[in-house]
Structure 1
Amino acid sequence: MSLGGGAVASPRSQAFRMAGLHGYAVEFSPYLPGRLACAASQYYGIAGCGTLVVLEQNDAGVHLLRSFDWNDGLFDVTWSENNEHLLITSSGDGALQIWDTAKPTGPLQVYKEHTQEVYSVDWSQTRGEQLVVSGSWDQTAKLWDPAVGQSLCTFKGHENVIYSTIWSPHIPGCFASASGDQTLRVWDVKTSGVKVVIPAHQAEILSCDWCKYDQNLLVTGAVDCSLKGWDLRNVRQPVFNLLGHTYAVRRVKFSPFHATLLASCSYDFTVRFWDFSKPDPLLETVEHHTEFTCVLDLSLHNPGQVTDMIKLHFT
């Protein structure tokens, strides 16, 4: 599958299986091509423990590099932007955990301030910042500096659970959040306040992402099965509306290599690839799962590598 702007080819997949776990999030390392981390939970995150799985992919296949267990389900994971060995996960007990993949021990630090499940965590990519944002079912987002043992700020305004918090790759101190209150919100950490509130769907919004080539463009994916694009300069109506999924859109990601390409995964068991600049935007539908598809990421190193093409089977 090419997401670099060329023709779409049939994907070649490699599989990794881990019994008893359900994958909730996956992210490629920004440092090492072929290395990725997955946050997983037992019993679909409803009960049981969680596991952080660190994988290595090469020509011989996908191999387990290291795994770490937590006493509650893990729902999201983000790599450090200043240390290739560090990861942060978020969990169902309201906590964030910092892990060192070079050390086969428990977490280096645990932050627990949220009062309900933490469904999203993201590490800022803008130069000069070392900030983390988390989003929780307690309807708040929190700002963290991993060097400080407590949150720096709490953002309130959402009227339902927060499913996704994503930093802008362009604007320092700016992040977006998607919520069950059917809104997409953009926040400024310098003012501790919301900049934009977009009533983006008439359904819960499960995922959002920033375009890597346009600081004003975001995409949302929702329970109404649609993906919508939003230009922050005019939010009265979406700039694109992508239809094709038959169940809720669980995660959506813009391509790191092409301004108009993106990928989505859904509870309809499919992964879909889109080019919203085309009259017929759906490029490919990949049907290789037999259960809800929640995990999706695009490699920052290889235009043709998508984590769902390295099939992660949690059975």
Structure 2
Amino acid sequence: MNRPPPSGLHTPGFAHYALAWSPFHSNRLALASAANYGLVGNGRLHLISLGPGPGGLPGLSLEKFYDTQDGLYDAAWSEIHENQLVTASGDGSIRLWDIMLNDLPIRAWQEHTREVFSVDWSNLQKDLFVSSSWDGTVKLWSPERPHSITTLQAHQSCVYQALFSPHQPDVIATCSTDGTLKLFDLRAPAYAPSAAGNSFTHPLSAAALTVPASGTEVLSLDWNKYRPLVLASAGVDKAARVWDCRMVKLGGGADVGPAVGGQCEASLVGHEYAVRKVQWSPHRPDVLATASYDMTCRV
């Protein structure tokens, strides 16, 4: 007997950039999309539910959607409010949405000067999220504040991703077109509030560690969920790499300055084109998934 395949969801006119599971509801997802593959045009945030489809197999259905004036590149659910999430937009804006409301966002920020390409909500310090932009900066935010808390001049060029460590709430990792991974420790003295100016006009730039991960652009990174200070990176060179950064002391003591290093544990090759996304399994410390412009996903 042939069973029908699980039912999918089509969004005509919109290409997908990011998919995020709700941390509160196992059957709810958010989908960030853009018209014309994100090159020009509007964006759309889709709210999707997972439920029984044809033949009793899981299926996807569209609950509602929100249109935006520019493409959406990423989305992250709040860790403290089950109905709220943030989106990253091509016009440099970040918006906070409440899915119980039907039209406008409940808050919007416009500090980045170019496309915002990633947002990540901390699952340790649950009242904070981070954004990264093509303007070279990374910003730390609270949903309750009208302006960013801290601005990091993370790289001199596009920052594709910024992620909180799942082990240390004050550590953020970034990757960029400059071929590096960087780790920032917000406990360092350099990040203490200063009367000289706010973080928006005086961005900070001291990375605790710089990892020369590739000779070309690094498009994606992820923290290992079981091994502190172990990360994976992937990018234009068609490879994914695993980095052990545990030999570097993080904590911001007076004897700790910027460091360059990171030991490459593994270099995983096989993709025929750039690797767009890398992600560790949330269930096992030794399983990694990649997705590439060669139209394959590999584990």
SS of equivalent residue, structure 2 residue 37: helix
Looking at structure 2, the residues matched to 236 and 132 of structure 1 have their Cα atoms a distance apart, in angstroms, of 26
| Residue in 1 that maps onto 2:39 | 46
| Residue in 2 that maps onto 1:241 | 267
Moved more, 12-21 or 117-126: 12-21
SS of equivalent residue, structure 2 residue 161: strand
The amino acid of 1:168's aligned partner reads S
| Residue in 2 that maps onto 1:267 | 293
TM-score normalised by length of structure 2: 0.85
Q: Deviations along 1:16-53, whole A, 9 cap, x unmatched?
A: 11101111111111111121111100011110000011
Change (3 A) 1:146 1:137: same
| Residue in 2 that maps onto 1:187 | 184
The amino acid of 1:113's aligned partner reads E
1:262 to partner: Cα distance? 1.6
| 2:13 paired with 1:20 | yes
Which of 171, 192, 195 lines up with 1:174 in the alignment?
A: 171
| 2:25 paired with 1:32 | yes
| 2:103 paired with 1:143 | no
* 1:82-121 → structure 2 map (5 Å cutoff): 82-121=80-119
Aligned residues of 1:74 and 1:90 also touching (Cα < 8 A): yes
Moved more, 184-193 or 128-137: 184-193
Looking at structure 1, the residues matched to 106 and 126 of structure 2 have their Cα atoms a distance apart, in angstroms, of 21
Query: How many aligned residue pairs are there?
Result: 261
Aligned residues of 2:244 and 2:262 also touching (Cα < 8 A): no
Q: Which residues of structure 1 form unaligned runs of 5+?
A: 1-11, 274-315
Looking at structure 1, the residues matched to 262 and 209 of structure 2 have their Cα atoms a distance apart, in angstroms, of 12
| Residue in 2 that maps onto 1:63 | 61
| 2:228 paired with 1:230 | no
Looking at structure 1, the residues matched to 280 and 104 of structure 2 have their Cα atoms a distance apart, in angstroms, of 33
- The percentage of aligned residue pairs carrying the same residue is 39
Looking at structure 2, the residues matched to 29 and 129 of structure 1 have their Cα atoms a distance apart, in angstroms, of 14
Q: Deviations along 1:75-110, whole A, 9 cap, x unmatched?
A: 010000011110100101111000111111211110
Looking at structure 2, the residues matched to 125 and 203 of structure 1 have their Cα atoms a distance apart, in angstroms, of 31
TM-score normalised by length of structure 1: 0.80
Which of 225, 234, 238 lines up with 1:221 in the alignment?
A: 234
Moved more, 232-241 or 19-28: 232-241
Looking at structure 2, the residues matched to 263 and 35 of structure 1 have their Cα atoms a distance apart, in angstroms, of 22
Change (3 A) 1:236 1:107: closer
Change (3 A) 1:105 1:257: same
Greater Rg, structure 1 or structure 2? 2
SS of equivalent residue, structure 1 residue 269: coil
| Residue in 1 that maps onto 2:202 | none
Looking at structure 2, the residues matched to 99 and 236 of structure 1 have their Cα atoms a distance apart, in angstroms, of 38
**Structure 1 runs of 4+ off > 2 angstroms?**
189-193, 233-237
Looking at structure 2, the residues matched to 129 and 50 of structure 1 have their Cα atoms a distance apart, in angstroms, of 27
Looking at structure 2, the residues matched to 51 and 129 of structure 1 have their Cα atoms a distance apart, in angstroms, of 26
The amino acid of 2:60's aligned partner reads V
